[in-house]
Copies of this chain bind each other. A is one copy, B any other.
């Protein structure tokens, strides 16, 4: 039989209130009783009942984690890693994460996630882009919300984002430091915040180095940033420009596509053309040569989102706090030092 706070109290020869105080590290307990109680807790291998304490404290002890099903099922485990990060972080404390997906075409008529309806969570973490209508309806529920890797247009929510501008600068500076001057940018939908920010970083870095960004070698004509469009973009770029010595692709998928084109077209990587991506996906290492990139710390993003949620729940955080998680330059073999 599972032991209760009463059993512990009896065994330690104290009241249940004292046990409760010890459990919550209240400091007005003599170290003597504290030890007695702790021993009893250990001896009985006592764990407090979550239901009971939640009932009193009017909390659920759960955090909801929402992403769209296509984000969850993506081949590249980006959001899965973010989830894992929040779960890792939650393990340190008393909270549990309830993961649920919504259809990516979530509409007005679809029911809200059950844990919202049933009020089984104390707050909700939203990862990646989700439909506006969900956000609106969530807001009505008055639950604390934290966004990660996405921020709704209102900007009124606490959020954890990748520092894309810094990443863009990092990547571009790396190429500049390697002596490159004609650095192409390959990106997808410029309306997507992460891509436009990476482009901003790219321009900033060029600017600082006194290089004038050349619109002819900035390709953002293919919205979806995947391999296929990376290939096509590179093809277009190189058919018109012969003097490009380096490419900064807005993500690894496009970089990989571009690499395929370069190989098909007979360019040596990195002998003739250097290339850097963004994300650090597993496939990078399988490439020939392995891709230099900007690493996005997915686990850390998730962990940070969880910490932010905790501080929101504890009333420690302002409602629209923004956290920019730094990225890291990973130099491998696809970029060449011209100096």
Contact = CB atoms under 8 A, between A and B. Distances in A.
Nearest to A64: B96
A119 interface: yes
Given A50-B118, A96-B98, 9 more contacts: A2-B119, A50-B120, A51-B60, A74-B77, A80-B80, A84-B101, A87-B101, A91-B100, A91-B114
Nearest to A73: B77
A267 interface: no
A122 B266 CA distance: 60
B99 A87 contact: yes
Interface string A249-287: 000000000000000000000000000000000100000
B75 A282 contact: yes
Contact of A87 (B74, B87, B100, B282): B100
A202 interface: no
Contact of A84 (B73, B81, B83): B73
A140 interface: no
A106 interface: no
Contacts of A117: 47
Nearest to A56: B51
A97 interface: yes
A51 B55 contact: yes
Contact of A60 (B50, B76, B80, B91): B50
A229 to B, nearest CB: 15
A312 to B, nearest CB: 20
5 contacts: A47-B118, A47-B119, A50-B118, A51-B55, A87-B99
Contacts of A114: 91
A99 B97 CA distance: 8
A72 interface: yes
A81 to B, nearest CB: 7
A55 B49 contact: yes
A96 B47 CA distance: 21
Contacts of A100: 87, 91
